[in-house]
DNA sequence: CAAATTCTTTGACGCTCATCGAACGATAGC
DNA sequence: GCTATCGTTCGATGAGCGTCAAAGAATTTG
């Protein structure tokens, strides 16, 4: 059993919301970790790949912002949340943006 | 006579600062107008190309943020300020970013 | 010099945001 | 059924931001 958490449709993605989400270093660190790992993983596994030192409420808040911006898709599986980057939707709406923002260094 | 207002060096551009600057719709409108006009123009002429309805202090504030983020170069000429996009510096540091963010529509 | 133009600075106001601790919810495992 | 695990929600706090009116530079023009 799994359910996808509410998210904006592909054509309703707003650049202001997207850029505001990406402007935060912590969220960008999460996105970068998600971006390079092809395999879907749960929230805490992603955090483990970063060097973020934030409380779980704060991490949860950042995931929500990313999801509500349309940058990620979150699927609830059991007590875990599987988070993936919405590559295609982002590329269709803002071509090249993720690559430019999440490019290594 | 003309003098260039203080701005960050090309290699000290910070993505967080850049994205924060671009996240605001008003600043993005200014950037878009600057981006498409090749010829350098003064502040108020740029504003005239947009449909922004903001007080002059607010406009001035936004120009400052853009300049301090390293997105624009401002040269004081007489009582005017000539603002240009730092294309090359931005492209060197964050390839494709401006194109992705300032693409029409 | 005086007046008009162009832009900046200052100070204030309201709002949003990142962060945390504490409490809660849901699920898996024993 | 307990208990541990993974994550969310709530409430609060402190910092920062976008905005404006008023006042201040700096420069051109009459």
ipTM confidence score = 0.94
* Cβ–Cβ below 8 Å for B101 and A19: yes
Nearest to A91 by CA among A80, A81, A99: A99
Over 80: is that where the pLDDT of B105 sits?
no
Distance between CA atoms of residues B67 and B88, nearest Å: 15
Q: Does A92 touch chain B (CB under 8 A)?
A: no
Contact B24 A16 (CB under 8 A): yes
What number of C-beta contacts closer than 8 Å exist between A and B? 45
Query: Is the backbone of residue B17 left (phi > 0), alpha (psi -120 to 50) or beta?
Result: alpha
Per-residue pLDDT reduced to its tens digit, B19-49: 999 999 999 999 999 999 878 899 999 999 9
pLDDT in tens, A69-91: 999 999 999 999 999 999 999 99
Across B43-60, average pLDDT: 97
Which CATH class for the A2-94 domain?
mainly alpha
In this prediction, residues A39-61 reach a mean pLDDT of 96
Instruction: List the CATH code of the domain at B2-86.
Output: 1.10.10.10
B76 touches chain A (CB under 8 A): no
């Amino acid at each position: 059993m799994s359910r996808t958490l509410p998210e904006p449709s592909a054509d309703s993605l707003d650049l202001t919301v997207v850029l505001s989400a990406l402007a935060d270093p912590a969220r960008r660190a999460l996105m970068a970790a998600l971006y390079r790992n092809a395999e879907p993983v749960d929230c805490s596994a992603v955090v483990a790949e970063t060097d973020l030192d934030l409380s779980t409420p704060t991490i949860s808040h950042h995931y929500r912002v990313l999801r509500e911006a349309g940058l990620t898709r979150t699927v609830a599986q059991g007590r875990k949340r599987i988070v993936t980057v919405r590559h295609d939707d982002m590329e269709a709406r803002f071509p090249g943006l993720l690559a430019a923002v999440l490019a290594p260094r």
